[in-house]
Amino acid sequence: MVLGGGKQFVQDEEKQQLLLEEHTEKHFTAGEVVRDVIIGVSDGLTVPFALAAGLSGANASSALVLTAGLAEVAAGAISMGLGGYLAAKSEADHYHRELQREQDEIDTVPDVEAAEIADILSQYGLAPQEYGPVVTSLRNNPKAWLEFMMKFELGLEKPEPRRALVSAATIALSYVAGGLVPLLPYVFVPEAGRAMAVSVAVTLAALLFFGFVKGRFTGDRPFLSAVQTTIVGALASAAAYAMARAVQSI
């Protein structure tokens, strides 16, 4: 039956290739850049917006709200951007450390690593005579063996080299772009109260739109995503407003 399975698949190989080619995978995964833009914009739209609303609630002038808001945008962009850079960097370092460790284990304790292949495959109900040939083949192909262990034992994907830098720049710029939306009204409207009203209207609209687009990209229901994103922004600014009021009244 084992060899039967093998033979059958040798014969079917061409058929398989045809099947694979005509079958386009419909599985969706948001690209990493899209994910970074989403991280940056959603925070950028939310926190400076909430801070500005909070300060307006504390009777600050538009000039001061703008000062605080832009200072926050600068700080947030650098914190998130460099944070994103270091996170991606440390992810890549982690991958290479694990790669080296796995390579060492394959060199020094090959029987253990071979037993780990067997252990992994047996979790899927495979019998020794079924996974045996796989283990034997991988042992004869150390490069493929290493890749197999990285993916199937550790679940680690090879990171792109320039990923960290791109991620940092994307998140930072997205944060600035998002953060300027709620702050612009304070540039043109000197009276903070009025500026806040405009800022709230503009930003809630932006949150709805952005949440919708986000939903489209991440595969969530766009309208649900739009509402959720807007509620987060509204709650955050309400909390900031209440907090500012409370501190003022002390």
**Interactions with a second copy, residue window 214-233 (CB under 8 A):** 218-220, 225, 228-229, 232-233
Question: Chain-centre distance of CA 141, in angstroms?
Answer: 34
Q: Which of 64, 77, 26, 56 is nearest to 194 (CA)?
A: 56
Please say whether the beta carbons of 159 and 91 come within 8 A: yes
Residue 131 binds a second copy (CB under 8 A): yes
Least Å from the CB of residue 199 to a second copy: 14
Gap between the terminal Cα atoms of the chain: 81
Report the phi/psi class of residue 59: left, alpha or beta, with left for phi > 0 and alpha for psi in -120 to 50.
left
Tell me whether residue 58 or residue 181 sits nearer to a second copy (CB atom). Answer: 58
Residue 43 binds a second copy (CB under 8 A): yes
Least Å from the CB of residue 16 to a second copy: 4
By residue count, the chain amounts to 250
Residue 95 binds a second copy (CB under 8 A): no
Q: Which of 31, 129, 161, 162 binds a second copy (CB under 8 A)?
A: 129
Residue 138 binds a second copy (CB under 8 A): yes
Residue 137 binds a second copy (CB under 8 A): yes
Please say whether the beta carbons of 203 and 46 come within 8 A: no
Residue 55 binds a second copy (CB under 8 A): yes
Instruction: At 128, list the tokens.
Output: 């020794």
Instruction: At 92, list the tokens.
Output: 């890549």
> Quick one: DSSP state of residue 191?
S
Nearest-angstrom CA–CA distance, 117 and 152: 9
Residue 165 binds a second copy (CB under 8 A): no
Least Å from the CB of residue 201 to a second copy: 18
Q: Which of 96, 100, 107, 128 binds a second copy (CB under 8 A)?
A: 128
Least Å from the CB of residue 224 to a second copy: 10
Least Å from the CB of residue 202 to a second copy: 17
Nearest-angstrom CA–CA distance, 129 and 49: 62
Residue 74 binds a second copy (CB under 8 A): yes
Least Å from the CB of residue 18 to a second copy: 9
Least Å from the CB of residue 226 to a second copy: 12
Residue 115 binds a second copy (CB under 8 A): yes
Q: Which of 33, 34, 92, 134 binds a second copy (CB under 8 A)?
A: 134
Residue written as token pair 């003022």 = 248
Residue written as token pair 């939310």 = 46
